[in-house]
């Protein structure tokens, strides 16, 4: 690494501190990334001001071969780009060699989900809690059981679920009309379990011990609550869901409303549902969003083979 290269990095970092108010930790991270790039250039008998796009591509390739993740490589490239943008603006170099370089694509994280057995345990725990409670606590437990059943039966977004108007019950009780993103409407079917849970929630009657009659609540919302919006919030539902997850013997950190939506889609595809049908049920505008669930199934199949196939132990 030449003294000139080190001077250019120092000037760049001074600019970040003075003009952008970069914190010391940020400056240290930039320095580490840029000095790593300069070490590569030195090994290639090149210097910062003479490097080409080919040199930078070679550096990225070396990072990939060293096993760095796409996210880490993208961060290194971002630092190099900003440095060269600075050097171009300061007229240290004429053309920016990093200008047209495409960054590495980040691997799309697979959605977290639950197994069918785990969802069954969650639902059974919610149902059991409702059967043992009385009064207002019973109503709260019935509401939670109903929310879980509806979410797993329909795959609704949590915001769509908690903000359902009571008018959604008008008409055929076997389907719900959901208004999702972009105010697009879609029909989602209700299975028998969801309809039973909904009926218990709407007409709670008496607790199993014959006490604690709770009259049905009549409001604009299907799931009313004392909140600014007038209905249960996403946050409140998520907290209650984690409580019942713990009661079911599941790790609460693995359970959320969105995870149940993922489970709905994954379990449908696992049982042969058409991808286009799942797209419609989820309310995805683009099928590429739904295709992520096929990757979940692929990973599950790979794990099944690696864990149980006799030849996999020789890998």
Active-site residue numbers?
157, 181, 258, 261, 284, 293
Query: CB burial class (10 A; 0-12, 13-18, 19+) of residue 43?
Result: exposed
Residue length of the chain: 315
DSSP one-letter code for 205:
-
Per the CB < 8 A criterion, the answer to whether 157 and 186 are in contact is no
* DSSP-based three-state secondary structure for 217: coil
Q: Closest by alpha carbon to 5, among 43, 34, 45, 25?
A: 34
Cβ neighbours for 25, distance < 8 A, ≥ 6 positions apart: none
Residue 112: name the closest of 307, 295, 302, 288 by CA: 295
């Amino acid at each position: 690494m030449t003294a000139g290269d080190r001077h250019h990095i120092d000037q760049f970092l001074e600019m970040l501190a003075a003009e952008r108010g970069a914190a010391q930790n940020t400056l240290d991270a930039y320095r580490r990334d840029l000095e790593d790039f300069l070490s590569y250039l030195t090994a290639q008998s090149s210097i910062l001001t003479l490097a080409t796009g080919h040199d930078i591509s070679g550096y990225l390739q070396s990072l990939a071969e060293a096993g760095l993740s796409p996210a880490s490589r993208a961060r290194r490239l971002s630092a190099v780009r900003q440095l060269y943008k600075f050097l171009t603006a300061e007229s240290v170099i004429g053309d920016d060699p990093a200008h047209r370089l495409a960054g590495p694509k980040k691997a799309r994280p697979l959605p977290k989900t639950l197994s069918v057995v785990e969802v069954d345990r969650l639902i059974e725990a919610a149902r059991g809690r409702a059967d043992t409670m009385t009064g207002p606590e019973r109503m709260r437990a019935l509401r939670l059981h109903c929310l879980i059943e509806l979410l797993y039966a329909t795959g609704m977004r949590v915001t769509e679920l908690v903000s359902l108007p009571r008018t959604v019950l008008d008409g055929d009780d076997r389907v719900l009309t959901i208004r999702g993103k972009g105010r697009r409407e879609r029909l989602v079917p209700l299975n028998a379990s969801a309809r039973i849970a909904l009926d218990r929630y709407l007409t709670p009657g008496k607790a199993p011990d014959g006490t604690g009659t709770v009259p049905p609540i009549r409001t604009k919302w299907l799931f009313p609550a004392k909140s600014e919006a007038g209905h249960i919030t996403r946050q409140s539902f998520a907290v209650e869901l984690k409580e019942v997850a713990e009661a079911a013997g599941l790790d609460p950190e693995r359970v959320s409303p969105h995870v149940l939506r993922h489970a709905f889609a994954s379990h449908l595809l696992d049982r042969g549902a058409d991808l286009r049908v799942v797209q419609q049920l989820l309310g995805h505008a683009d099928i590429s969003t739904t295709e992520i669930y096929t990757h979940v199934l692929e990973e599950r199949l790979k794990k099944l083979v690696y864990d149980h196939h006799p030849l996999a132990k020789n890998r």
